[in-house]
Structure formats: structure tokens, C-alpha cells
Structure 1
Amino acid sequence: MVAYLWLVWYESPTKAALRHWALAITYEAHDHAYATFHEIASDSSGTRYQARVVRRVHLTSRHGTIAYAGKLLLGEVTDQVLASLEMYSETAAELVNAHNRKRGVHESTCHDWAIIIVRSLEDALLLPAGSLSRAEKSPRFG
């Protein structure tokens, strides 16, 4: 069965504020498809990110109270990607946290987390060439 990997972003409160990014898996390539979202969110202390999975959400739905803003289809993915995406997500979250411990809280964010995953998948030839460069051009600010 074919699955699709998307980079999804949400509105930010101001033009200078960061947008939230998430990665979504769907089995259909349209806006009303149900998705499994992978993302990172701050823990209760606000100093560390944790990987999180949210299932059965419409691809273009709101994120809590934050409005959907856009998406980018990164490519078709195999069952191998589906089976390992949670592990990729947790590993990328730890890399973001390690960077932030050295450089400062929230210097590295959900954007860096997503880029780490997309880079890893493209390097492993599990995403089409050019997926990383397209993801890097996606809007990060309001």
C-alpha cells in the first residue's frame, strides 16, 4: 500500500513568530485524508522537546487552536519508513534537545527536528532526491 509523507505547517501568532511544523503520513493524496502526525512538543518544564504521535486527524485540520497554513508533499514512502518513523522522530528530538542543552533553550526547534528526519530519509534513499531542499524552503515564520 502506498503512503505519503507530508510536511505540514500552522499559522503563527505574529509575522515574526515561528510556525509549528509536523510530519504527516496519509494513505491518500488529498486535503481531506486522515493522517498520522509526528511532531515534537515542549514538555511540562518547557525546556525539552518530546516526540509525539497523533492519529486520525485530517491533513488540513487545526492544530489545537492554531489554524492550518500549508503543506508540502515530500514523497511516497514505503512500509519501511512507516515502521521506523517513530524511531526517527524520537532520535531527532534527542538531537534537538542535545543541541539546545549546549546552545540554549529553543535555539533548535520543530523545524530542525523535521529537517533532521527528512535529511535522514533522503540520505537512506527512502524519500525522493530533492525532498530536503524543498522542505528547507518551507515557511518558518508567520
Structure 2
Amino acid sequence: MTGYLWLVWYEAPARSAIRHWTLAVTYEANDRAYATVYEVAIDSSGHYQSRVTRRVHLTSNHPSGAYNGKILLGEINDNVLCSLEPYSETAAELVNSRNRKRGPGAQTCHDWAMIIVRSLEDSMLLPQGALACVEKCPRIG
């Protein structure tokens, strides 16, 4: 079965604050589709933890802010769907590792998403240019 991978971003709490990014998978390419949402969130110790939420409308609001936009990154197959949770966990570990070396907040959910998209694109599981599209998405307020 073919799914669709989206980058979704939400309103920032202030103009100078960062927007929260998530990756979402749907089986339909429309706004009414239900999605499985992959994201990282900061825990009480300041580390990013991977989180998966199922059966969320693609354009629903997020606890961190109102839905603001999305881009379709490409079609993905079942093999990719099975790998997204481990990809998310590994990307969270990489972000946490870099933050330990460079300081808290050096890397964010944006870096987490780009690590995953770069890996999928390098493996030819997403179309060429997906990472370039992600890099252009709004990050701040």
C-alpha cells in the first residue's frame, strides 16, 4: 500500500519563537485524511524524545500551536512506513548527542526532520529534492 509523507508545521507562540515541525503519514493525499504523526518533544530533562500519534487529522491543531501549513514530500511504500519509528528514534538520538556537545537548543525538531528526510532521500525512498523543499519551510514565528 502507498502512503504519503508530509512535513507539517504549526504556529509559533511568538514571532521570534520556532515553529514546531512534525512528519505525518496519510493514505490519502487530501486535507481530510487521517495521519500518523511522528515528532520529537522535549522531556523534563531537556532531551528530545520520539513520539508517535495515530489517527490525527492532517490539518489538526497541535498542543504546541495551531496548524499553519504542510508540504507533500512524496509517496512512500510499506517498507518505509515500517522504518519511520526507528528512523525517528535514531534522529532524536543524533539531535540529543549534538546538543550535549554544542549546548541545549543547538538542534531542534527542524534538524530531526531534516535528518530523517535526508536519510530517506539518500536511500532513494523519497524523490530527489524533498530535502531542498524541507529546508525552505518556515522555521520561525
**Which runs of 5 or more structure 1 residues have no equivalent in the other structure?**
none
**Which runs of 5 or more structure 2 residues have no equivalent in the other structure?**
none
Bigger drift between 83-92 and 60-69 goes to 60-69
Does 2:121 match 1:122?
yes
Distance in 1, matches of 2:82 and 2:4, equals 14
Match of 1:90 in 2: 89
Match of 1:136 in 2: 135
TM-score, normalised to structure 2, is 0.98
Query: What is the aligned residue count?
Result: 141
Distance in 2, matches of 1:65 and 1:39, equals 12
Does 2:65 match 1:74?
no
* Identity across the alignment (%): 67
After TM superposition, which residue ranges in structure 1, 4 or more long, deviate above 2 angstroms?
Answer: none
Match of 1:101 in 2: 100
Aligned-pair CA distance for 1:64: 1.7
Match of 2:20 in 1: 20
Secondary structure at 2:104 match in 1 = coil
Alpha-carbon spacing, 1:91–1:65, altered in 2? closer, same or farther (3 Å): closer
Match of 1:112 in 2: 111
Distance in 1, matches of 2:140 and 2:123, equals 29
What is the 5 A alignment of 1:11-50? 11-45=11-45, 47-50=46-49
Distance in 2, matches of 1:136 and 1:78, equals 23
TM-score, normalised to structure 1, is 0.97
Does 2:10 match 1:3?
no
